[in-house]
Amino acid sequence: MAAPATLDRIEPKPMSARSTFLLRFGSTVVLWSVALGIIFSGYEIAFFALIALFGLLTLWEFYGMLDAKGLPNFKVTAMVCGAVMLCGSFYYFSEVGPAHSYDFEMAVLLFFLLTVFTRQMFDSLRDDAPLKTMAYTLFGLLYVLWLYNFMTKIVYVVPRAADGRVTGQFYVLYLIAVTKFSDMGAYLTGSVIGRHKLVPHISPKKTWEGLAGALVFSLLASWGLFKIMPGHLSALNATHATVLGLLLGFAAVVGDLAESIIKRSTGVKDSGNLLPGIGGALDLIDSLLFTAPLLFFYMRLVIRVP
């Protein structure tokens, strides 16, 4: 008897590099336009809701990546502690002041550490499994949420205006623009003239030419914003704009590579599929996880914003 006929499957053609870039660029513009619109609206609670939503979604994606690899973690415990950290940090920064916010954050981290150890006591001991579970859980909160929360800190580390309005949103705009221009510069330069691999064992497509492009683009973005908004970025001068342009550009590349390490270790291509052309929420903010704390500490320790 003849074998039954089979229908040929038509595999979808992969998108070209240009199509991928346009889709990614469009998603980025739309998302950050919405984010900045909320920030500049003056409704601080709306800004907090945006930060909390992206923060918790990113943390969930991170633990989802661990789950895909079968790596043990206390996801629910981390999500609860993460929500407490975000809410408390926002309250203390906006209503009380930075000093008490730092104390609250340390208290939450201590509480989280104790909670993870207590949670582990109710699970059976299997060689080094308890240590791995606690390590993966703690790393997720620190890498994703603790670093991401510096976005809130940047808004409130700058003194309010005389009428009580927040003014730090302009530094968030500066942060996002310089970081994303670094990402764009790395992608465009690497795609066009990239020849020499940067770290092929982590990300085969990253090149030294792309790194140079990232630094050039981020430096131009830093200078451009400093020239366009000198009054809103009054804490900066030309030297700060130059140094930050280079530092943030480099940190953005490191942040992108840091997520690549995690994705390669867990065997996933993207952290999620929420955003067309980008992937998940973590794929969107991976660079900001490193640039946000860098800008914050530069403002505190070098510029010494009061």
Q: What is the pLDDT of residues 59-74, one digit of tens each?
A: 999 999 999 999 999 9
The 3-class SS string of the chain reads CCCCCCCCCCCCCCCCHHHHHHHHHHHHHHHHHHHHHHHHCCCHHHHHHHHHHHHHHHHHHHHHHHHHHCCCCCHHHHHHHHHHHHHHHHHHHHHHCHHHHHHHHHHHHHHHHHHHHHHHCCCCCCCCHHHHHHHHHHHHHHHHHHHHCHHHHHHHHCCCCCCCCCCCHHHHHHHHHHHHHHHHHHHHHHHHHCCCEEECCCEEEEEHHHHHHHHHHHHHHHHHHHHHCCCCCCCCCHHHHHHHHHHHHHHHHHHHHHHHHHHHHHCCCCCCCCECCCECHHHHHCCHHHHHHHHHHHHHHHHCCC
Indicate the pLDDT class of residue 276, thresholds 50, 70 and 90.
low
What pLDDT does 96 receive?
Answer: 81
* pTM, 2 dp: 0.86
- Model pLDDT for residues 167-200, shown as the tens digit of each residue: 888 898 899 999 989 998 998 898 889 888 998 8
More confident residue, 3 or 54: 54
Segment 78-91 mean pLDDT: 92
pLDDT at 15: 52
What is the per-residue pLDDT across 100-139, written as a single tens digit (0 to 9) for each? Answer: 778 888 899 999 999 998 888 877 767 788 889 999 999 9
Average pLDDT value for the chain? 85
The pLDDT confidence band at residue 226, using thresholds 50, 70 and 90, is very high
Q: Is the pLDDT of residue 6 over 70?
A: no
pLDDT at 4 over 60: no
